[in-house]
Structure 1
Amino acid sequence: CCTPPVSEVVVPPAAPSTTFLNLRDGNEFAYELKDGLPFLRSSYRPVTPLASEWNNFWPAVASYLQAHPERALLLTGLYYADEVNNSIFPNLGIARATDVKNHLIAAGVPSTQLLTAGELLDGDAPQTLSSGLRLAFAAAPAPDQERLDTIRQHIQAAPITLYFNTNANDLVLSSEQRQDFADLTFYLDQVPEARIRVSGYTDSQGSRDYNLKLSQERADFVRDYLVRNGLAGERINTLGLGPDGPVASNATEEGRALNRRVEVTLE
């Protein structure tokens, strides 16, 4: 859906290397930061330790947004085309914005008042982006129930399915899966009581006990992977089902490959 109109843009908005932030919301809120939020090339987590002034910034924003439920904060993560996106999200900018969003949630900001976006920058990425984020206040959007219903129906009808090689715990995401994870994250932000179910499966090769253990390990691996990308672990349930619930014949290698999977869906 469309981004709500922005009241104040971070100054200066055009220079990703700036180390100065001046966040305002009309005459109601003003906060100046002398240090930017740096990110290493191809990383979606800020360089730590953060400058000490950021520790005061999170609760200040939290207090303001708690007192003004009609307002929201738009976090726009900056990224370059030549960076490697190892996140679950469509681009590294959204991943950076999501990581910072979780700092604000931890400080007490309701997730419904935090919006994320990514912005592609021209040129080549430096080794360190001295400020990889832009911040701006906006009107809090009205709940988009139609979009929420669409996301829930889509993910429940077609769970995000991740495939594994034999005895392997690595995975590669398609662009469609990254968009599904972005939609899933949006849903979780807007529906605080929602939970995720991660179910692991194997093919029929090997003993049942071994496959039950392997499928649980794969489900736990995906849960941990999602947590590293900013999803709350306490909202993720995992289950290892071993060879049960095959989606293809185990008589062929192609079928066994389809059965070695983890499915992510909404409960």
Structure 2
Amino acid sequence: MYLLGILLTISIGTYFSWKLCCSHDLDEEKQTQDEVNIEPKAYKNPTLYPFSIKDDSGNFSLNATDNFNFESSKYNFLSPVSSSLDMEIGKLKDYLTSTNNKSLSITGFYTPDEQNTSVYPNLGVARAISVKNYLNSKGVPSKIMNTYGKEEIDMIADSLKVYYGPLAFSISELKDDSEELSKLGEFIKAHPLVLYFKTGQSNISLNSEERQELADIAKYLDKVEGSSCIITGHTDNTGDATVNLGLGQKRADFTKQYLVNNGIPSDKITAISKGQTEPIADNTTEEGKAKNRRTVITIK
């Protein structure tokens, strides 16, 4: 019985040792095989847009590999611009300035995943305006350029989140838009853009309607010779009047710099402060004070 007990113990121990060991080895083998069978993620090549421009009604065309590139969620293109691209821009400038009836349309692309940090309705418009300003610095008249934005769902950035040339260009006949601009100017003057601030603060946050209003102001300033923008900072009557005059100026200056950073020329903007001297609501209530803490943007 004693020997039988020893044999039984050895048998049971051997069985469980084999069971646990081999089961573990089989699990590891299966896991290794599973890892081998896992398909690697497919790498998608970034979308490449060339600097391509063609005048369908003329005999001019450009097609260069280099283009303006943008980081994800950024509206200013990466610099410096290549010398080869500048050469093509020079050809474009010579063509557009040698004719009197041509206009250039610039459409900026963006994806729904990108964040719009500009003052414009979408990131595509902001990118187009950034490029338009550069072309203008190279001699292409600003008046003959129009900017648009378009969402591109399938546009792919590279591994560093850079989009290559997310733009489209087209040349068409120049149209007389003086009547449209006149109506736009009248509307802006009758409906100045008003931005509100919290007590003691000078930062702003724009909604979609305000972005569109700023885009209209930018368009008017860009197209109408001699036009300018006036930004007036106002406060409620909390605190010292002299301090409030400075706070109103700070808000106006902040708004001006915000517009300049988004491509509106600094020399077309005047920033002033009225402090607490021109309330539009009752300063004895919190609601009234909130309405008085404002910056008004209009044109002249």
After TM superposition, the score normalised by the length of structure 2 is 0.79
Asked if the contact 1:40/1:129 (under 8 Å) is kept, the reply is: yes
Structure 1 window deviating more from structure 2 (131-140 vs 58-67): it is: 58-67
Q: Please say if 1:23 is aligned against 2:23.
A: no
1:236 corresponds in structure 2 to 269
1:83 corresponds in structure 2 to 114
**Aligned mates of 1:108, 1:36 — CA distance in 2:** 18
Q: Please say if 1:136 is aligned against 2:159.
A: no
* Matched letter for residue 282 of structure 2: S
Structure 2 alignment gaps of length 5 or more: 1-44
* Matched letter for residue 147 of structure 2: T
- How far residue 30 of structure 1 moved from its aligned partner, in angstroms, is 3.0
Q: Please say if 1:182 is aligned against 2:215.
A: yes
Asked if the contact 2:67/2:85 (under 8 Å) is kept, the reply is: no
2:99 corresponds in structure 1 to 68
Asked if the contact 1:113/1:140 (under 8 Å) is kept, the reply is: yes
SS class of match (1:81): coil
**Aligned mates of 1:78, 1:25 — CA distance in 2:** 21
Superposition map of 1:181-260 within 5 A: 181-260=214-293
SS class of match (2:105): strand
Structure 1 residues 143 and 16 mapped into 2: Cα distance closer, same or farther (>3 Å)?
Answer: farther
- Write the deviation string for residues 77-125 of structure 1: whole angstroms up to 9, x where unpaired: 0011121111111111111001100011112222221011111111476
Structure 1 window deviating more from structure 2 (89-98 vs 22-31): it is: 22-31
Structure 1 residues 123 and 28 mapped into 2: Cα distance closer, same or farther (>3 Å)?
Answer: closer
Structure 1 residues 33 and 123 mapped into 2: Cα distance closer, same or farther (>3 Å)?
Answer: closer
Q: Please say if 1:93 is aligned against 2:143.
A: no
Count of residue pairs brought into register by the alignment: 252
2:200 corresponds in structure 1 to 167
**Aligned mates of 1:265, 1:16 — CA distance in 2:** 42
Structure 2 residue corresponding to 1:45, chosen from 50, 72, 76: 76
Asked if the contact 1:65/1:71 (under 8 Å) is kept, the reply is: yes
- Write 1 or 2 for the structure with the bigger share of helix: 2
Q: CA RMSD in A?
A: 1.8
Percent same amino acid at aligned positions? 35
1:3 corresponds in structure 2 to none
Structure 1 window deviating more from structure 2 (179-188 vs 201-210): it is: 179-188
**Aligned mates of 1:68, 1:111 — CA distance in 2:** 15
1:34 corresponds in structure 2 to 65
Asked if the contact 1:16/1:131 (under 8 Å) is kept, the reply is: no
Q: Please say if 1:152 is aligned against 2:192.
A: no
SS class of match (1:244): coil
**Aligned mates of 1:213, 1:40 — CA distance in 2:** 37
* Matched letter for residue 134 of structure 1: A
**Aligned mates of 1:49, 1:152 — CA distance in 2:** 36
**Aligned mates of 2:191, 2:293 — CA distance in 1:** 17
Asked if the contact 2:104/2:172 (under 8 Å) is kept, the reply is: yes
- Structure with bigger gyration radius: 2
* Matched letter for residue 41 of structure 1: S
- How far residue 226 of structure 1 moved from its aligned partner, in angstroms, is 0.4
- Write the deviation string for residues 129-166 of structure 1: whole angstroms up to 9, x where unpaired: 11111111111122241x22322122112211111112
Structure 1 residues 82 and 124 mapped into 2: Cα distance closer, same or farther (>3 Å)?
Answer: farther
Asked if the contact 1:83/1:125 (under 8 Å) is kept, the reply is: no
